[in-house]
Amino acid sequence: MIKAAIYGKGGIGKSTTVSNISAALADRGLRVMQIGCDPKADSTTLLRHGEKLPTVLDTVNQKKDQFELSEVCREGYGGVICVEAGGPVPGFGCAGRGIVTALEKLERKHAYEIYRPDIIFYDVLGDVVCGGFSMPIRKGYAQKVFILTSGENMSIYAASNIAMAVENFRGRGYASLGGLILNRRGVEQEREKVEILAGDFHTSITGELPYSETVQKAEPLKKTVIEAFPDSEMARAYRELADHLFRICQEETGAQNNA
């Protein structure tokens, strides 16, 4: 089973990207699980035609352990298993608590053994990387971390903080940095800026997504580009990225198994 975390600043298009990657791999016949680790709990809505899920945190608060996995794990496009960690009411509690609660509860409920995904994606908000938000990096969760960024200053700043957090966990058997994903926004010298960031952390640009109005056309339909416009150039770009990330994670898993 492959586990990958995709981090990025809020508003950078992270959940849209992760959902399209999940959809692309599901179309390849893989069993995919996507776990949204954002208090807004909207990571998986495009996979479920706009329908939001009950979050793990809300469900645990209401029912303690007396709930079924099917209440918080539901299928979306292509059979993708969709989960939302959730978070507290704004102004109360730590948002990272939702991630910690969700991942621990899924393990205790044997979700991975029951659903048997080939690959799990943790979709993680990267504006703040502390406490619960670093949970998917920790040992036993993701093997690789990918950071989605544009060439915008705030996006690069957030990506730098995420990369630094991954670097600080090096040597503990935690997830390693798999690379940066450039989500183009039309910023001047955009690739050059992201290449500099990659060089600072001895990594590379693992994938690149062009700016495309196809993404904006798919969102009002409450679908991924993969589902709404499967023959588009943007769908092809998502498929290429999905295949590439999957290969990187396979190589990491193979290396760990041989170690």
Q: Report the alpha-carbon distance of residue 218 to residue 205 in Å, rounded.
A: 26
**What torsion do the CA atoms of 57, 61, 66, 72 make, to the nearest 10 degrees?**
-30
Set 27, 58, 118, 127: catalytic member? 127
Q: What's the number of CA atoms in the CB half-sphere (13 Å) around residue 71?
A: 18
Per-residue pLDDT tens over the stretch 227-249 = 999 999 999 999 999 999 999 99
How sure is the predictor about 193, in pLDDT bands with cuts at 50, 70 and 90?
very high
User: In sequence order, which residues have a C-beta less than 8 Å from that of residue 178 and are 6 or more positions away?
Assistant: 4, 144, 145, 146, 203, 206, 245, 248, 249, 252
Q: How many domains does the chain have?
A: 1
Mean pLDDT of the chain: 91
Please check whether residue 44 is in contact with residue 18, taking contact to mean a CB–CB distance below 8 angstroms.
no
Dihedral class, residue 30 (left if φ above 0, else alpha if ψ from -120 to 50, else beta): beta
Domain range spanning residue 214? 2-250
- Residue 205: helix, strand or coil by DSSP? strand
Set 14, 105, 193, 223: catalytic member? 14
Whether 179 maps to a domain, the answer reads yes
Count Cβ atoms below 10 Å from residue 220 Cβ, excluding itself: 9
Whether 256 maps to a domain, the answer reads no
Whether 257 maps to a domain, the answer reads no
Set 40, 109, 217, 222: catalytic member? 40
Whether 222 maps to a domain, the answer reads yes
Active site residue 27: no
Whether 127 maps to a domain, the answer reads yes
Per-residue pLDDT tens over the stretch 112-156 = 999 999 999 999 988 766 666 787 888 778 899 999 999 999 999
CATH of the domain at 170: 3.40.50.300
Active site residue 40: yes
Whether 244 maps to a domain, the answer reads yes
Please check whether residue 126 is in contact with residue 159, taking contact to mean a CB–CB distance below 8 angstroms.
yes
